[in-house]
Amino acid sequence: DAGVTQSPTHLIKTRGQQVTLRCSPKSGHDTVSWYQQALGQGPQFIFQYYEEEERQRGNFPDRFSGHQFPNYSSELNVNALLLGDSALYLCASSSRDGFSEQYFGPGTRLTVT
């Protein structure tokens, strides 16, 4: 049983560019949450998707957007990249009931130069 997978593993982008990160949830899970973890900090909640809609959103600008597909996989898009967007981006999957454990993927490390 595959766990949560994310791609790519690492990514280097230039300021102003756009990036798309991908996540496939654990089998049986239909809810995907995205977190940003800056160096030396704990993960910060970006948003959560289920039923192909954004259900909850953290304190992130509109440059951060997402999508969920019918197979429950998800994408995180960031436009107009800033140096401060450099971080580890983590995807977590869970069941919609919100009570089950959230399982994290290995993350995508984004560096903006």
Place of tokens 């910060």: 44
For residues 12, 13, 14, 20, the Cα torsion angle rounded to the nearest 10 degrees is -170
Query: Closest approach of Cβ 98 to other proteins, in Å?
Result: 3
Least distance in angstroms from the C-beta of 73 to other proteins: 17
Nearest approach, Cβ of 77 to other proteins (angstroms)? 20
Residues that bind other proteins (CB under 8 A): 31, 33, 35, 40-45, 48, 50, 55-56, 58, 88, 90, 92, 94, 98-99, 101-102, 104-107, 109
